[in-house]
Amino acid sequence: MGIHEGDNATANQGVESEPPDQGLAVNNNVVAEINNNVIRFFNATTGAPLTGPMANSAFFGVPAGFNLSDTQVFFDPVSQRWIFDELVFSSSFDGFELAVSQTSDPLGKYFIYQIRAFSDDLAGSGGWDCLPDYPKAGYDANGFFITADLFSNVSGNFVESAIYPLPKYLMYMGANFNYTRFEDPSDFVVQPSVPAPDGEPFSTADNGSEFLMSAPGSPNLAVLAIGNTGNINNTPQSMYLLRTTVAAQDYGMGTVPSIHPNVIGPYSLDGGYSAFQATIQMANSGKLYGALPFGSKDGNGLNRDVIAWLEVQPTLGANSLSASIVNQGYVIPPGGYSISYPAFGLNHTGAGILGMTITDNVATFPSAAVVNFTGTATNSAIVIAGPGFTSDDGFTGCPKNMPGAVGRWGDYAAATLDAVTGFSYTANEMIPDPAQFTRGGLANWGTFITQTH
């Protein structure tokens, strides 16, 4: 099961896009997957679709002239609510669309919010709200936190990262609310965390807290904490942001293009960049788990995309934050392979799976793959769960009347756990069988959702 470009073209009357940034949430055997412009629900047991492909613009009720990109979905098992979020922008508005389910039924009614990413007051903004690119989200007991990389709509330059904490209780009631913003000029991509759905408790430190991580430059990691989230409903301005750094293992020189068999065009796939691209998982009594791709050596010593993973223990006191590395390691592909776009799907003990895309330049087309994770180390070989069937030939890597280029390959993958069944899930990009899945006219990407138990 999974969304593919044919779904996207069908839902959007032939309008196509890439790459397929993925959001994934699962509860009680119902799977919700959302890409940049299309959403679909599946039965997790059979893989059968529960709905046809739906355009995100219709799902969020976005009027003409607004653009959507970079989306995620979460299921909050404590409150039994589904939350979809997506970047929305137009000539007059920059911010986020939110769809919050009114019950635990993902096919039921939703409260819809349009959240302005206010930033016109920041130095470098030019007096206009910035484009809140690459929004990522997470939540604690009290708040839903959206981070974004702010780019000036005047100069196009990166301004800084921002965090927008939103009150969960008021969102779930469909009420109006006030919200604040935190700035982080030290980091580019800041990833919020989500507790493992099967019982990992929310952090109660300092009246409630949300932890975030970023990779500002090897070998340093940054851990951030928003404290006093218990006051988010009435006095959001009383919350505070702390940041600390900790030395970790090397996470390399950035990514390198991932080469794959040349059937359609002489080009390769981008490996993203060395940042935590998927939501940070909180498990094993408050520890933070993240993975990021980077360029290093494969089993034969060749430059390839590999993955670094880290387990970090944050400690939040009264206006003080520290962090330490508990465990860390690498996933190294066999010689000739590249692996990229990792995402953890963990249970409350810190065990589960690490999803990724794998490809090589001989026989393995871009495929969805997983590695078992014990909580301290990977304990098995890379397993191809969704084999690719041909080369990627999207319009970014195979531009019309131009030489082959490096194709865009998603900005992130997604992974999660079904709290009811205990099964882990990950969604990764691959190239599906064109005889089984209708491709688009401009691209042939697909996603594959892997279930493990």
- Tell me: the pLDDT tens digits for 26-53? 999 999 999 989 999 999 999 999 999 9
Q: What is the pLDDT of residue 52?
A: 95
Provide the pLDDT confidence category of residue 358 given band limits of 50, 70 and 90.
very high
Residues 281, 310 contacting (CB under 8 angstroms):
no
- Tell me: the pLDDT tens digits for 234-271? 999 999 999 999 999 999 878 888 888 877 766 688 88
Q: What is the pLDDT of residue 404?
A: 67
Q: What is the mean pLDDT of residues 8-36?
A: 92
Q: What is the mean pLDDT of residues 157-166?
A: 97
Q: What is the pLDDT of residue 411?
A: 87
Single pTM value for the model:
0.95
Beta-carbon neighbour count of residue 437 at 10 Å?
17
- Tell me: the pLDDT tens digits for 66-86? 999 999 999 999 999 999 999
Provide the pLDDT confidence category of residue 401 given band limits of 50, 70 and 90.
low
Provide the pLDDT confidence category of residue 301 given band limits of 50, 70 and 90.
confident
Four-point Cα dihedral 355, 359, 360, 362, nearest 10: 130
Which pair of tokens denotes residue 307? 């993955």
Q: What is the pLDDT of residue 298?
A: 77
* Nearest CA-CA partner of 113 in 152, 164, 153: 164
Residues of the domain holding 246: 5-452
Provide the pLDDT confidence category of residue 200 given band limits of 50, 70 and 90.
very high
Which residues have a Cβ under 8 Å from the Cβ of 423 and sit 6 or more positions away?
A: 26, 44, 417, 451, 452, 453
Provide the pLDDT confidence category of residue 344 given band limits of 50, 70 and 90.
very high
Say how far residue 397 (Cα) sits from the centre of its chain.
22
pLDDT, the chain, mean: 93
Question: How large a percentage of the chain has pLDDT more than 90?
Answer: 77
Residues 18, 33 contacting (CB under 8 angstroms):
no
Q: What is the pLDDT of residue 54?
A: 96
User: What whole-number distance in Å separates Cα of residue 72 and Cα of residue 326?
Assistant: 28
User: What whole-number distance in Å separates Cα of residue 427 and Cα of residue 277?
Assistant: 13
Q: What is the mean pLDDT of residues 91-105?
A: 97
Q: What is the pLDDT of residue 303?
A: 82
Which residues have a Cβ under 8 Å from the Cβ of 234 and sit 6 or more positions away?
A: none
Residue 378 has pLDDT above 90, yes or no: no
Q: What is the pLDDT of residue 410?
A: 83
Q: What is the pLDDT of residue 402?
A: 61
CATH number, domain with residue 432: 2.130.10.10
Q: What is the pLDDT of residue 265?
A: 63
More reliable by pLDDT, 264 or 24:
24
Burial level of 58, CB count in 10 A (0-12/13-18/19+)? exposed
More reliable by pLDDT, 168 or 375:
168
Which pair of tokens denotes residue 406? 């490096």
Kindly write down the DSSP assignment for every residue of 37-101, as one continuous string.
SEEEEEETTT--BSS--EEHHHHHTPPTT-EEEEEEEEEETTTTEEEEEEEEE-SS-EEEEEEEE
Which pair of tokens denotes residue 349? 């003990």
Phi (first) and psi of residue 264, to 5 degrees: -105, -45
Backbone CA torsion sign across 325, 323, 242, 203: positive
Name the amino acid, one letter, at 215: A
Q: What is the pLDDT of residue 270?
A: 87
Total structural domains within the chain = 1
Residue 163 has pLDDT above 90, yes or no: yes
- 98-107, 284-293, 339-348, 356-365 — which is least confidently predicted? 356-365
Kindly write down the DSSP assignment for every residue of 144-186, as one continuous string.
EEEEEEEE-TTT--EEEEEEEEEEHHHHHHT-------EEETT
Name the amino acid, one letter, at 21: D
